[in-house]
Structure 1
Amino acid sequence: CVRKGQPTGARAVGCLAGDAQSYILFCDFFDRIIESYHGYKVTTDIVQESDFNYDNLKGGDDFDQAYAMSCEVTAGRSIEDYCFPTHCSRGERRQLFTLAKTVLEQLGEDLPGKLYSIDELSHESEGRRVVMDSPPLSLIKIGVARDWPDARALWLVRDGTLAIWVNMEDHVKLVSYRSDACLQEAFKTICINVLKLETLYKKLRHPFIWKPHLGWVVSSPAEVGTGLKASVTVNLLHLAENKRLDDILDRLRLQMEATGCPGIYKISNLQTIGFNEVELTQLVVDGVKLLIRMEKRLENNGGIDDLVPAQK
C-alpha cells in the first residue's frame, strides 16, 4: 500500500481513514503504513511537537531566482466530532460548511477575503484564476466527490496570499502560493492563519483533531503529524538525469515530482511526522539550496560527489 515513485514521481499511500478513531481502532494497520511511508515508528512514548514560530526558520527568502521559480506551503486540518471527507454524510458535510463559513467570516475581519462556492468556481472571473468545472479525478477515486458540488467551497484572501479549501481532501486545507519562491513568507502566512483558525474553531467548540502520538490527524496517513507540505518549483535539468539522484533525495528526506515542463520539478518534504513545522520547512529550504548548488556544478561539467550529504 506504499508506492515509491521514480525520481520524478511522488510516493503515495493506497489507503485513507474514515475518521480519527480509525487510527486507534486499526492502529496495527495504520501504524505500519505510517512507519513504512515516513520512516517513523509510531509510539505512545513520543509526543508529536508543533512549532509555528516562523521566525525560527532560517532562510527561504534567498533562493537563486535563476533556478527557484515558485513555492507553496499547505496545511490540512480535520474537525473534531466529524468523519473525514472520505466517509462523511451529506448532513455532516453541510454542518462542516456552515462551521467553516462562520469561521471564515470572522477571519475576514482581519484578513479580507471572499468565499466562493464550487458552482461559482465553474465560471471564470476577473481577478480569480481558480476555475473548477468538475471534481478532480483524485477526489473521484477516493470517494470524496460524492454529492458534488454540495457544501464545497474556496475562500480566497483579497491580496492573493492565502486560499482555504473547505470539504475537499480534508475538512479544511490552507494553501499559500508565491510566484517569487519566497518560502519564508509562504510559511509565515500558513503559521499565522492556522493558529487563527484553530482559535476560532475552538470558540465554536469544534477544535482541530489532535492525538499526542500522531499530532494533527487527517484522512491520509501520508500527512499525519503536521499536515504540512512545503514545496519549491526548481529548474534542475541536469540533476534530474544524474544516477545518484534517488540516493540524494533519500538522504535529504525530500521527494521530487515532475511538473510536465522539461527540467522543472517540484521539491517537497516527504515526511510530515517526527519533525515540527519549522524543522520540516527547514529541510526543504536547506535541501533545495543544495540541489541548486549541484545543478550549477553539473552545468559546468563538474562533479557533485563531495556535495552529497551523509546518510540521513
Structure 2
Amino acid sequence: MANNLTPAIYARLCDKATPNGWTLDQCIQTGVDNPGHPFIKTVGIVAGDEETYEVFADLFDPVIQERHNGYNPRTMKHTTDLDATKIKFGQFDERYVLSSRVRTGRSIRGLSLPPACTRAERREVEKVTVDALSGLTGDLAGRYYRLSEMTEQEQQQLIDVSQCSSRPAPPGCMQSRTPSWHCLSGRLHPPFAALLSSSTRTPALARQPNSTPCSLSEPMNSASLQDHFLFDKPVSPLLTAAGMARDWPDARGIWHNHQKTFLIWINEEDHTRVISMEKGGNMKRVFERFCRGLKEVERLIQERGWEFMWNERLGYILTCPSNLGTGLRAGVHIKLPLLSKDSRFPKILENLRLQKRGTGGVDTAAKGGVFDISNLDRLGKSEVELVQLVIDGVNYLIDCERRLEKGQDIRIPSPLQQFRH
C-alpha cells in the first residue's frame, strides 16, 4: 500500500465510497496502523465488499500488480481450471513429503466481506454455507462446529494443543532476511483446525441430523495431539485493525468431513476457507478431493440462490488482495535437511515460484529440516497450473536432496515464465 498510495491518489479517492458505504480510509486502516518491516511486506489494504476493487481500483490495481509479480488487472484476464485429471506425477516420495494440502477461499456475492459485514450479514454467511454443506454426501459428508457454543477453555485448548508440537515464533521473528509478502494477518494459518475428540458432551456441535456429539473435555493423549490443529483467535493487530475481531466468536465455525480430510472455515478472514489435506505425499488425490468438494459446494450454494464473487479480471474475490485469483495455496511439509543448508536454496525456490515457511507456518522455525513449501502465485495462473507447478517444484527439491545425499552437485533451475500473454 505504501508504495502505491500517493497524495494525488488519496485526494482522488478519499471522498468515494462503495454502495455499502466502505471508504478508502477503512481500506487502508490496517496498513496505517501497522507499518511494514524491511524484510516482511504486508499488503496493507483490505476490501470491505466486492465493489471495493472497482471503486478504489486506482489504488488496488497497482497494489495487485506489485503483489502478484506483474499481473496487470487492467489488461489481463484470470482463468479458472478445476480439472484434476490434468495433473501429472502427483505422488511424492513419502520419505521426504510428510503431508499434502490445498486450500482456497470463497466469498458469497451480495454480502459484505468480513472487515465490513454486519452481524446479520455474518450470520447469513454462516446460515447459507452450513445449509449448503449439509447437502454433501459420500466421503464429503461431515458436520459443523460453532465456536460460540464452545467454552473459552475449549477454544483455548484447540490453540494450546496445536502449539505443543509447533509453537509459532513471536510476531516479527523472521527466519529469512529476504523480503517476502504476507497475507493480511501476517500468517497463513495451517489449515487444520479444531478437529475434536468424541465424548458425551456436545457444546461445540451445531447439531444436524445424524451428527455425532463431540467435545474437548477429555484429556489429550499423544495420539489425539496429532488430531488437533491450530485455530488462531483474531489477536493480530493486522486483523483487529481491519475489523476481523468484531462480535467474536459470533457466527464463526469449522466444518469437516468424517475423515477429516476436507474442511471449511466459516467467517474467519474470508467468508469461507476450503481445505483438502491428508498425511503423506498423494497431492493428486488431495487436489482431486479439493476440486470435487469445491464444485459440489458451489453447486449447493447456487441451488439456494447464491453465488461466489468472481470476475474475469481478478478471479475469485477475497478480503486480502494477496489472495485474489485462485486464492489457492497448495503445499507440503517436506524434509530437506541438506538442501535447506545450501546457500542456493532461496534462489532455487525463487526460480521455481515457491515459498517456504517453518514447520508451524509463517515466522516459525523449521524443525528437523522440515519446511512448509507452497506456491508463491495466486493470480494469473489456474488452479491446475499452480498445483502442477508445486508438484514439479517439490519433485525438483526432492531430486536436489537426493543428489546432496550422494555427494553430488545441484544446479539452480532457470526462472519459470510468469504469465502466458
Question: What is the TM-score normalised by the length of structure 2?
Answer: 0.68
Partner residue, 1:103: 132
Partner residue, 1:269: 375
The separation in 1 between residues aligned to 2:78 and 2:115, in whole angstroms, is 25
RMSD: 2.4
Amino acid paired to 2:381? F
- How far is 1:45 from its partner? 4.0
Partner residue, 1:246: 346
Partner residue, 1:126: 197
Partner residue, 2:118: 89
- How far is 1:302 from its partner? 2.2
Partner residue, 2:415: 311
2:245 aligned with 1:145: yes
2:290 aligned with 1:190: yes
Amino acid paired to 2:387? T
Deviations 1:164-195 (A, max 9, x none): 11111110111111111211111111101111
- How far is 1:134 from its partner? 6.6
Partner residue, 2:277: 177
The separation in 2 between residues aligned to 1:145 and 1:132, in whole angstroms, is 17
Partner residue, 2:52: 22
Q: Helix, strand or coil: the match of 2:388?
A: helix
Give 5+ residue unaligned stretches, structure 2: 4-35, 159-195, 199-213, 215-226, 360-364, 417-421
Summarize the Cα distance change of 1:132–1:39 in structure 2 as closer, same or farther, 3 Å threshold. closer
- How far is 1:241 from its partner? 2.1
Report if the CA contact (8 A) 1:164-1:173 is conserved.
yes
Partner residue, 2:22: none
- How far is 1:298 from its partner? 2.1
- How far is 1:38 from its partner? 1.5
Partner residue, 1:67: 96
Which residue of 219, 222, 235 corresponds with 2:335?
235
The separation in 2 between residues aligned to 1:273 and 1:133, in whole angstroms, is 26
Amino acid paired to 2:65? E
Summarize the Cα distance change of 1:99–1:174 in structure 2 as closer, same or farther, 3 Å threshold. same
Q: Helix, strand or coil: the match of 1:175?
A: strand
Report if the CA contact (8 A) 1:234-1:264 is conserved.
yes
The separation in 1 between residues aligned to 2:311 and 2:356, in whole angstroms, is 29
Deviations 1:71-99 (A, max 9, x none): 11101000101111122111110111111
Amino acid paired to 1:158? H
Summarize the Cα distance change of 1:298–1:111 in structure 2 as closer, same or farther, 3 Å threshold. closer
- How far is 1:17 from its partner? 1.4
- How far is 1:13 from its partner? 2.4
Which residue of 233, 242, 264 corresponds with 1:164?
264
- How far is 1:276 from its partner? 0.5
Give 5+ residue unaligned stretches, structure 1: none
The separation in 1 between residues aligned to 2:392 and 2:231, in whole angstroms, is 38
The separation in 1 between residues aligned to 2:352 and 2:272, in whole angstroms, is 29
Report if the CA contact (8 A) 2:113-2:270 is conserved.
yes
The separation in 2 between residues aligned to 1:50 and 1:299, in whole angstroms, is 39
- How far is 1:245 from its partner? 2.1
- How far is 1:19 from its partner? 1.4
- How far is 1:297 from its partner? 1.8
- How far is 1:48 from its partner? 1.1
The separation in 2 between residues aligned to 1:40 and 1:168, in whole angstroms, is 29
Amino acid paired to 1:206? W
Question: What is the TM-score normalised by the length of structure 1?
Answer: 0.90
Which residue of 367, 387, 396 corresponds with 1:290?
396
The separation in 1 between residues aligned to 2:67 and 2:275, in whole angstroms, is 23
| Structure showing greater Rg | 2
The separation in 2 between residues aligned to 1:207 and 1:250, in whole angstroms, is 36
Which residue of 72, 75, 79 corresponds with 1:42?
72
Larger mean CA deviation between 269-278 and 36-45 belongs to 36-45
Report if the CA contact (8 A) 2:97-2:332 is conserved.
yes
Summarize the Cα distance change of 1:157–1:13 in structure 2 as closer, same or farther, 3 Å threshold. same
Counting matched residue pairs gives 306
- How far is 1:247 from its partner? 1.8
Amino acid paired to 2:235? L
Deviations 1:231-272 (A, max 9, x none): 011111122222222221121111011113131101101101
Amino acid paired to 2:406? N
Deviations 1:275-298 (A, max 9, x none): 110000000000000011111222
Q: Helix, strand or coil: the match of 1:82?
A: coil
Report if the CA contact (8 A) 1:235-1:264 is conserved.
yes
Amino acid paired to 1:156? H
Deviations 1:213-243 (A, max 9, x none): 1111111111111111100111111222222
Q: Helix, strand or coil: the match of 1:50?
A: coil
Deviations 1:12-63 (A, max 9, x none): 42322111111111112212222112213224443211111100011222x1
The separation in 1 between residues aligned to 2:232 and 2:287, in whole angstroms, is 30
Summarize the Cα distance change of 1:189–1:5 in structure 2 as closer, same or farther, 3 Å threshold. farther
